[in-house]
Chains A and B, each alone.
Chain A
Amino acid sequence: MTPSLDDLRVDARSGVGPPSVLQNGSVTTLRQTWILARNDLRQELRELELLITSVFFTVVILALYAVSFAEMSKSAQPKAVPGMLWIALAFVGALTLTRVFEREREADTFGALLAAPVNRVAMYGAKFSVTLAVLCVCAAVLVPGLLLVFPSSGVEGWSALEMLATVLLGCAGFAAVGTLFAAGLAHGGGKNVLLSVVLYPLTTPVLMMSLVATQRVLQAHPGAWDILAKIAAVDVILLIVGGALFESVLVGGAARGSGGGDSSTGAGGARAPRTGEVGPDMLGDDVR
């Protein structure tokens, strides 16, 4: 009637076993992350839609700043400009995150990826990297633009390298939180408005730290690297938690570990079946 399981194994899974290094989970995850990120970049290069909209939005904000704060005194600039930078990046970030996942939602390609043998952490990592890349491009427009419009915001001799690190680390923290929630909202058909509701309260701490770091960098303050290291630590925490929760938020209970089955935690596995008789008395003394 049916072929034996051994036959099947050969038939269905023809080919030789993979090189042992590929079975290493983290290498696989990294490779898949790269493949997914490359896929996003390839699409982006076709139309540049994401980049054009995000950069244009950035320029608009910059122009608004220039118009609104043209009269700003020189002494106020060092305090105000870092704030402008991070507020702009927070807005552009929300826009970018929405768009990055909108693209997956349009043809439900997100579903195809979830059904494919792709590590969820790789999906998280890829979207995170793409968002971070777009944000960095926007920052590359914003930072010189702001310094041009508000020339007194920094002292002579601030370090561009430190600035780069600040922008990178700050945006990374923002994207680490944002990717998780944007993915959740995109996959669950949630309303995009909620992204801003979620994102800003949660990312304010990291943005505040980045703001302080930016101030210090622009003032050539010696404590800049100190705070940058702390932002990096926070980024790592946010990334780990974001990656760990990604599967649970998107598809439900995460299947941890390999092999065997802890039936209480498996995806598509089981919680205890709901038993309980139907009837008012089943509500017991919980009803007041």
Chain B
Amino acid sequence: MNPTIPTLTKAPPTADQGAAPAAAEDGYEAVTGLDKETVALKRTYEAEVEAKVASDYSHIVWAYGILWSLFCGFAIVLLVRGSRQQRDLQALRRELERRGEQAVDGP
């Protein structure tokens, strides 16, 4: 709604508007092409589109990046928790072994 990209405020003129009055007077056909104004307008258009696409792409990259890094972050949290549990389990095993030896030795 309030885009940061500069916008065209007036409609682009059509090509024949600039070309028509110059035609056929001295036997020369005017080169049908784009007058400077149109070219400038076209360039502005292109720049605008480019800026919009670039901005969109950067937004997309950010959005996708954040989404998947969130998932990865959560996965890392899970891994950390899992390894903590593994350590806990090792401690439990050691404790059981210790007790097993004690029981063999007699209380």
Contact digits for B63-107, partner A, Cβ 8 Å, 1 yes 0 no: 000000000000000000010011001001100100000000000
A279 and B97 alpha carbons, distance in the complex (Å): 10
Q: Is A19 an interface residue (CB 8 A)?
A: no
Q: Which residues of the partner chain B approach A287 to less than 8 Å between Cβ atoms?
A: 85-86, 89
Q: Is A60 an interface residue (CB 8 A)?
A: no
Within 8 A of B (CB), among A263-288: 278-280, 283, 287-288
B85 lies within 8 A of A280 (CB): no
Q: Which residues of the partner chain B approach A279 to less than 8 Å between Cβ atoms?
A: 96
Q: Which residues of the partner chain A approach B86 to less than 8 Å between Cβ atoms?
A: 287
Tell me how far the C-beta of A107 lies from the nearest C-beta in chain B, rounded to whole angstroms.
Answer: 41
For residue A283, which residue of chain B has the nearest CB? B89
Q: Using known A-B contacts A278-B96, A280-B96, determine if residue A288 contacts B82 with beta carbons closer than 8 Å.
A: yes
Q: Which residues of the partner chain A approach B92 to less than 8 Å between Cβ atoms?
A: 280
Q: Which residues of the partner chain B approach A278 to less than 8 Å between Cβ atoms?
A: 96
Tell me how far the C-beta of A192 lies from the nearest C-beta in chain B, rounded to whole angstroms.
Answer: 29
Tell me how far the C-beta of A75 lies from the nearest C-beta in chain B, rounded to whole angstroms.
Answer: 23
Tell me how far the C-beta of B103 lies from the nearest C-beta in chain A, rounded to whole angstroms.
Answer: 13
Q: Which residues of the partner chain B approach A283 to less than 8 Å between Cβ atoms?
A: 89
A268 and B96 alpha carbons, distance in the complex (Å): 32
Q: Which residues of the partner chain A approach B96 to less than 8 Å between Cβ atoms?
A: 278-280
Tell me how far the C-beta of A90 lies from the nearest C-beta in chain B, rounded to whole angstroms.
Answer: 31
For residue B78, which residue of chain A has the nearest CB? A288
A280 and B92 alpha carbons, distance in the complex (Å): 8
Q: Which residues of the partner chain A approach B89 to less than 8 Å between Cβ atoms?
A: 280, 283, 287
Q: Which residues of the partner chain B approach A280 to less than 8 Å between Cβ atoms?
A: 89, 92-93, 96
Within 8 A of B (CB), among A66-108: none
Tell me how far the C-beta of A245 lies from the nearest C-beta in chain B, rounded to whole angstroms.
Answer: 29
A287 and B82 alpha carbons, distance in the complex (Å): 8
A288 and B81 alpha carbons, distance in the complex (Å): 11
A283 and B93 alpha carbons, distance in the complex (Å): 11
Within 8 A of A (CB), among B6-53: none
For residue B96, which residue of chain A has the nearest CB? A279
For residue A279, which residue of chain B has the nearest CB? B96
A185 and B67 alpha carbons, distance in the complex (Å): 35
Q: Which residues of the partner chain B approach A288 to less than 8 Å between Cβ atoms?
A: 82
Within 8 A of B (CB), among A234-288: 278-280, 283, 287-288
A283 and B92 alpha carbons, distance in the complex (Å): 11
Q: Which residues of the partner chain A approach B85 to less than 8 Å between Cβ atoms?
A: 287
A52 and B89 alpha carbons, distance in the complex (Å): 56
A51 and B16 alpha carbons, distance in the complex (Å): 83
A-B contact pairs, 11 of them (CB 8 A): A278-B96, A279-B96, A280-B89, A280-B92, A280-B93, A280-B96, A283-B89, A287-B85, A287-B86, A287-B89, A288-B82
A contacts, CB < 8 Å to B = 278-280, 283, 287-288
Beyond A280-B89, A280-B92, A283-B89, 8 additional contacts (C-beta under 8 Å) are A278-B96, A279-B96, A280-B93, A280-B96, A287-B85, A287-B86, A287-B89, A288-B82
What are the 8 closest A-B residue pairs judged by CB atoms, nearest first? Answer: A280-B93, A288-B82, A280-B89, A287-B89, A279-B96, A283-B89, A280-B92, A287-B85
